[in-house]
Amino acid sequence: MSYLVLARKWRPKNFAEVVGQDHAVSALRNSINSENIHHAYLFTGTRGIGKTSIARILAKALNCSDLKNGEPCNLCDSCRSINEGAAIDFIEIDAASRRGIEDTKNLLETISYLPASSKYKIYLIDEVHMLTPESFNALLKNLEEPPPHVIFMFATTEYKKILPTIVSRCLQINLSSASVKTITEQLSKIFSQEKIKFDDISLSLIADAAQGSIRDALSISEKVISFCNNNLKEDMVREVLGIPEPKIISNLLKAILEENIQDVLSILNDYGEYEDHEFLLKTLMDLIQKIAVLQFEKDTHKNNDLEDFLSTDPAKLQFLYQIGLTNLNHFSLGYDSYSILKMTLLKMVAFSDASQKKKSLIDKKQENTDIFWPKIFTDLNLNGISKNILKQASIEKKFNNLKISFPKKTFSIFNEDQKKEIELCFSDFFQEELKFTYDSKVIFEKTPEYEIKLRNKGQKKNIKKIMEKDKNFKEIIGGLKVESVEFNKKNET
Ligand SMILES: [Zn+2]
């Protein structure tokens, strides 16, 4: 059985057979029933969701000689010729291969001729966004005033690349990706009729891999069916599609969270160098995303195989997801995918380790009531007056109570704006809500100002020591030595 067979056999032949596009189908059927026919249709949506299939059904319906309730009969000459790909009045063009102005001109020259045997002459241009700007312009002229017997149908995966002047002249039919449920139901129906045995997990694995496209689901099914010899089993489907066992992914995440690099590398090694590494990363990210959502849902903490992960720090999950998301882009750069995956996972371990250490540092600061304020002062994100004010202050932190003590004179320049800025800065630094009190009982030895003075003194002492030890320097300085030391002494006090 080849892909063509299954896909062609199950390609919808009328609107009723189209799956998962109810809105589009009923709009088109209504427009045919009410004879409200547009001269240009634009079908948009991602690949493999039935844009050209629906366009063909519409073309059949427009030219059918035995239309029933908006549906083509599939029996008349016109319907049959379209089904067989032999219709003279239904012209299909792939703009990806015929995008130039000459191709478009040749095509447009045929517009003035009346249809050979049908009501309408219908042009279906697939991947219309691929046309060159010159081709678009030529097309636009014909769209402005098309002959009454001509109907254009355009299909595209990237409608934003189409000139707005073209889009505005079309009836836009936006098709949506099929849900996993829709695809599963359709596959179940097809497999049952094709006498193919399957289990539910196999179906959902195929539906997941199809990413919203019924056509992809069918092409994947072809591969799986021939490998499994008409009897689909979960483990075999996983093997064909390269979908790792859920256990592999959860073990991998566990190793990352435990910062166990050895385990991470050994799981990766077992998974193999020639598998789909981008897919493995995506699956890992799916798991992280699932856990992150579950953490905020009530009543999910039981009967869940993800229970072990639910106590993970939500910020850490966000962090890992972010790393995965950034590194996914790298797979398209053409580097060795195995290396990209390996480096991504190592980054997840290394960075979450670093973020954890930072967190534990803050935790320690929170516990420790005897904080070293001058060091914190240099880490605070302060500027201008607020910085000067705090330089002269000593602080004391007991749990979430923070007392700031200034010299008396400082209170005269301390206003509400600075207060707000300082409080925000501290809360931000300690990552908790703090209660602030202020007084004027500053302990000078505990202020950053004192610390800075001490440090400068130390540096000067060191410089002096180096100077005194260095013979060459002594010679150069010579008689100036006494004065320089005297000068420094003045500055120290
Ligand atoms: Zn017909």
CA of 104 to the centre of ligand 1 (A): 29
The answer to whether 149 and 120 are in contact (CB under 8 A) is yes
CA of 117 to the centre of ligand 1 (A): 13
Does residue 186 sit within a domain? yes
CA of 250 to the centre of ligand 1 (A): 54
Which range is least confidently modeled, 59-63, 122-126, 316-320? 316-320
Neighbours of ion ligand 1 (CB under 5 A): 64, 72-73, 76, 79
Query: pLDDT digit string (tens) for 428-454?
Result: 777 777 889 998 888 888 898 888 888
Last residue of a domain, one of 174, 193, 228: 174
CA of 75 to the centre of ligand 1 (A): 5
CA of 81 to the centre of ligand 1 (A): 10
Does residue 263 sit within a domain? yes
CA of 114 to the centre of ligand 1 (A): 20
The pairs formed by 449-454 with CB atoms below 8 angstroms and a separation of 24 or more are 449/391, 449/392, 450/374, 451/374, 452/374, 452/391
Q: Do 328 and 393 fall within a single domain?
A: no
Q: Do 27 and 138 fall within a single domain?
A: yes
CA of 78 to the centre of ligand 1 (A): 6
Q: Do 440 and 385 fall within a single domain?
A: yes
Residue 436: HSE in the Cβ half-sphere, 13 Å Cα cutoff? 14
Domain span at residue 383 reads: 373-446
pLDDT reported for residue 299: 64
Residue 388 has pLDDT above 90, yes or no: no
Q: Do 97 and 208 fall within a single domain?
A: no
Beta bridge partners of 437: 403
Beta bridge partners of 404: 395, 438
CA of 79 to the centre of ligand 1 (A): 4
Does residue 77 sit within a domain? yes
pLDDT reported for residue 480: 47
Distance CA 147, CA 265 (A): 66
CA of 150 to the centre of ligand 1 (A): 19
Question: Sorting pLDDT into bands at 50, 70 and 90, what band is 29?
Answer: very high
CA of 66 to the centre of ligand 1 (A): 5
Q: Do 133 and 43 fall within a single domain?
A: yes
Q: Do 56 and 157 fall within a single domain?
A: yes
Does residue 140 sit within a domain? yes
Tally the domains of the chain.
5
Q: Do 335 and 297 fall within a single domain?
A: yes
Residue 161 has pLDDT above 70, yes or no: yes
CA of 54 to the centre of ligand 1 (A): 15
CA of 68 to the centre of ligand 1 (A): 9
Q: Do 407 and 473 fall within a single domain?
A: no
Distance CA 113, CA 313 (A): 69
Query: pLDDT digit string (tens) for 389-429?
Result: 899 999 988 878 889 999 888 877 788 888 888 888 888 77
CA of 469 to the centre of ligand 1 (A): 106
Alpha helices in 329-396 (DSSP H): 337-367, 373-379, 384-391
CA of 84 to the centre of ligand 1 (A): 13
CA of 346 to the centre of ligand 1 (A): 61
Q: Do 129 and 276 fall within a single domain?
A: no
pTM over cut 0.75:
no
CA of 77 to the centre of ligand 1 (A): 7
CA of 177 to the centre of ligand 1 (A): 28
Q: What is the CATH number of the domain that holds 203?
A: 1.10.8.60
Does residue 166 sit within a domain? yes
Last residue of a domain, one of 362, 381, 414: 362
Tokens 């790393």: give the residue: 323
Query: pLDDT digit string (tens) for 343-367?
Result: 999 989 887 655 555 555 555 554 4
Q: Do 21 and 114 fall within a single domain?
A: yes
Q: Do 76 and 207 fall within a single domain?
A: no
Question: Sorting pLDDT into bands at 50, 70 and 90, what band is 77?
Answer: very high
Q: Identify which has the larger pLDDT, 491 or 326.
A: 326
CB atoms within 10 A of CB 349: 20
pLDDT reported for residue 375: 82
Q: For 37-53, b where at least 16 C-beta lie within 10 A, e where not — what string?
A: eebbbbbbbeebbbbbb
CA of 62 to the centre of ligand 1 (A): 9
CA of 110 to the centre of ligand 1 (A): 24
Beta bridge partners of 40: 152
